[in-house]
Structure 1
Amino acid sequence: MAGVNSPRQGAYTALAYVTLIIISIFCLLPFVWMALASVDSNAQLFLKWPDSWTFDNYIRVFATENGTRWFANSLFTVLSATILVVIISGLGGYALSRSKAWWKQPFLYGILLIRVLPSTALLVPLYKILLTANNGMGSLVRPLAGENYRAIMQMVGFIDGYLGLIIVLATGQLPLALWIMKVFFDGVPKDYEEAAILDGATLVQRIHRVLIPLALPGLAAAGLFAFMSAWGDFLLPLILLSSPELQTLPIGLFRAFLRVNEIDYGLLAAIATIYLIPAVIAFSFARRYLVQTFSGGVKG
């Protein structure tokens, strides 16, 4: 019986591998085109080998375009939102895991609803709330800032300011991060904390020496998801930012695509490649923790 089924099983296995290879090639082709077009002096819409190799497209991103500012704005806002998400989700996930309050489950499903709702449906009320908060912040800053009012509002403003974008990005990623950390802490035995208490450790010492080292895989996973999602967000920066000096990398890519009559595929491919690099680096660093988190976390 095994001999009869073996050739058929081998054929199914071979078919599965061939299908996976075809799908992988199909998924990789856009990245291959992007990498080749970014170093092609005459990049076209279709995939082709470069006529001549050049790094002028990358030089133009930073020399003639505002690429350095775009990249710095994206990195600052996304990293700030990610750090905020990691801190709040770590503390909140621990509290939700250890709490036995009756409202815990309704609260968890309630915050998950924020993630389920499409962001476009929330744009109008969200913008109205941020606009009201921005007007209030402006009334506080104007008497103190004087001539520096605009520069300060670009930092602490809720509309056309870093602070508003950071808070909104963090808020959008927080529900999933809270769920990840809550589930992760559910798998962390309480014995570690009890042993630290018996040794006379204070709350700060328990957090610093016990909880944070144990929670690193979960924090890395939550931070990775937050970073990747916030880094790829296009709609919120487009709606909330209007000043050219505040534009992020996806907005810069969008503007570069629209402002010319003839599309410069080499420049767009170079910007897209630069846009891709931080996400790849973040995944490379967090991959080990990500696997550990979703393969069972900490075992006691």
Structure 2
Amino acid sequence: MAAIADKRSGAYTFLAYVTLVIISIFCLLPFVWMALASVDTNAKLFLKWPDGITFEHYTKVFAEENGVRWFANSLFTVLSATVLVMIISGLGGYALSRSRAWWKQPFLYAILLIRVLPSTALLVPLYKVLLTANIGLGNMLRPITGEYYRTVMQWFGFIDGYLGLIVVLATGQLPLALWIMKIFFDGVPKDYEEAAILDGATLVQRIHRVLIPLALPGLAAAGLFTFMSAWGDFLLPLILLSSPELQTLPIGLFRAFLRVNEIDYGLLAALATIYLIPAVIAFSFARRFLVQTFSGGVKG
């Protein structure tokens, strides 16, 4: 009986590995096509070995297209939103973890509604609110900035401005980050803080020397999820940004795909590869912290 059970277990294990290999190959095929097409002199829609190797598509992204500006806009807005989320979620997660207020649990579940509701359902009221705020801000800044009004509004405007996109991206990712940091601080013993207090450390010293080093794994996890989600967001930049000089990399991909003439699949693949690199780098740096965060945080 034991031999039969071992054979069945071996068969199930073999079947599981075969299934995983098939699924992995299926998932990897688009990335293989993207990598090959980006250096193919005659890139086509279907997967094939390159007719010749060239890096002209990558050169074209930065030389002929607006690739540098698209990439810089994406990196600036997403990194700004990520830093903002990490700061707020770190402070808020600590406060929620240590607080015994009766409203803590209702508040935590209430903010999840931002994640539950589909973003498309919120676009119209969100745009209306941002437009009203943008008009008010514009009326206030126009007499002050004069001829620099347009430049200032591109930086601080809520519609067709960096600030509006950064705030909206950060707001969308903040609920999950707050939950991550709250749960992480729940696993951090209070002994560290009590020892620092006994040593005479001030609040600023406790934050700088105790809480921030302990919170790094949680902050890295929250920052990674924020960066990945915001980096892949297409709808919000499409709705909130209209100036060509403010457009981000996802919109550049969209424009490249919707050319009137025949689609340049080599250019499209090169853009997609460039778009993929920051996410891979971010995951590589934060992978170690992710494992530590979701395996229990800091143990006393």
State the TM-score, normalized to the length of structure 1.
Answer: 0.99
Q: Which residue in 2 is equivalent to 1:155?
A: 155
Once the two structures are TM-superposed, the CA of residue 214 in structure 1 deviates from its matched residue by 0.3
Structure 1 counterpart of 2:77, one-letter code: T
Displacement of 1:141: 1.0
Aligned residue identity for 1:133? A
- Aligned residue pair count: 300
Residue correspondence of structure 1 range 203-242 to structure 2 within 5 A: 203-242=203-242
Determine the structure 1 residue equivalent to 2:281. 281
TM-score (norm 2): 0.99
Structure 2, unaligned stretches of length 5 or more? none
**Structure-2 residue corresponding to 1:92:** 92
Shift of 1:2: 2.1
**2:182, 2:217 → 1: CA distance?**
13
One-letter amino acid matched to 1:36: L
Matched, 1:107 2:107: yes
Q: Which residue of 1 aligns with 2:194?
A: 194
Q: CA deviation at 1:260?
A: 3.0
Q: Does 1:2 align with 2:17?
A: no
Moved over 3 A (4+): none
RMSD of the TM alignment (CA)?
A: 0.5
Residue in 2 that maps onto 1:56: 56
In the TM superposition, what is the alpha-carbon distance from 1:140 to its structure 2 partner? Answer: 1.2
Q: Which amino acid aligns with 2:125?
A: P
CA positional deviation for 1:261: 1.8
1:4 shift after superposition: 1.9
How far did 1:60 drift? 0.1
Which residue number corresponds to residue 28 of structure 1?
A: 28
Secondary structure of 2:299's aligned partner: coil
Shift of 1:256: 1.3
Aligned mates of 2:215, 2:222 — CA distance in 1: 11
Aligned equivalents of 1:299, 1:261: Cα separation in 2? 60
| Aligned equivalent of 1:292 | 292
Q: Note the C-alpha offset of 1:193.
A: 0.3
Matches within 5 A, 1:245-284: 245-284=245-284
Structure-to-structure mapping, 1:145-184, within 5 angstroms:
145-184=145-184
Distance in 1 of aligned mates of 2:3 and 2:41: 58
Q: How far, CA to CA, are the matches of 1:135 and 1:162 in structure 2?
A: 15
Distance in 2 between residues matched to 1:3 and 1:182, nearest whole Å: 49
Aligned to 2:18: 18
Structure 1 stretches lacking a partner, 5+ long = none
| 1:2-23 Cα distance to aligned partner (Å, 9 max, x none) | 2220011000000000000000
